[in-house]
Amino acid sequence: MLAYALNVVPDTVGFMSTCRDLPEFVGVGDSIEDALRLAVEGLETTIGIYIDERRSVPMPSAPEPGEHAVYVPALTAAKALLSNAMIETGWRKADLVRALGVHPPQVDRLLDVNHHSKLDQIEAALLALGRRLVVEVQRAA
């Protein structure tokens, strides 16, 4: 799904991680491994801010030498892609409410990275926008 390239550097309190594609993101950890583990939640929060502000969530760039790829959870990636599709098509939440025949809070939850939406609901929303969610399995590094 979405794997963001993080730069992890020593800091005065441990290690700091940053992301070229999401400049608002800054993470910390006691070690490189800790910084990468903790980065997932920070990336989700940053993506949530983009969605809340109706800004397109930047797609990840390929990692450059020395950077680390960190995957966001598949559900968060699907929500980011749904939000981007809404922006690309000019749809507002109200348009999606009408197209899906649901109540406004249901669409709010579909775009909330902290809510565990059902994947079939996100698929239905994407189909209403003329998009299709494609899932693939890759070998873990």
For 68, list phi and psi in degrees, rounded to 5: -120, 135
Same domain, 62 and 86: no
For 131, list phi and psi in degrees, rounded to 5: -120, 165
The 10 Å Cβ neighbour count of residue 76 is 22
Tens digits of per-residue pLDDT, 21-69? Answer: 999 999 999 999 999 999 999 999 999 999 999 999 999 999 999 999 9
Q: What tokens were used for 135? A: 């899932």
Of 26, 54, 71, the last residue of a domain is 71
Of 26, 47, 71, the last residue of a domain is 71
The confidence band for 13, taking pLDDT boundaries of 50, 70 and 90, is: confident
Residue 37 domain flag? yes
Count the domains in the chain.
Answer: 2
Residue 136 domain flag? no
Does residue 101 come out as left (phi exceeding 0), alpha (psi in the -120 to 50 range) or beta?
left
- Residue 44's domain comprises 3-71
Buried b (16+ CB within 10 A) or exposed e, 38-73: bbbebbbebbbebbeeeeebbebeebeeebbebbbb
Gap between the Cα atoms of 31 and 29, Å rounded: 5
Tens digits of per-residue pLDDT, 79-127? Answer: 999 999 999 999 999 999 999 999 999 999 999 999 999 999 999 999 9
The confidence band for 141, taking pLDDT boundaries of 50, 70 and 90, is: confident
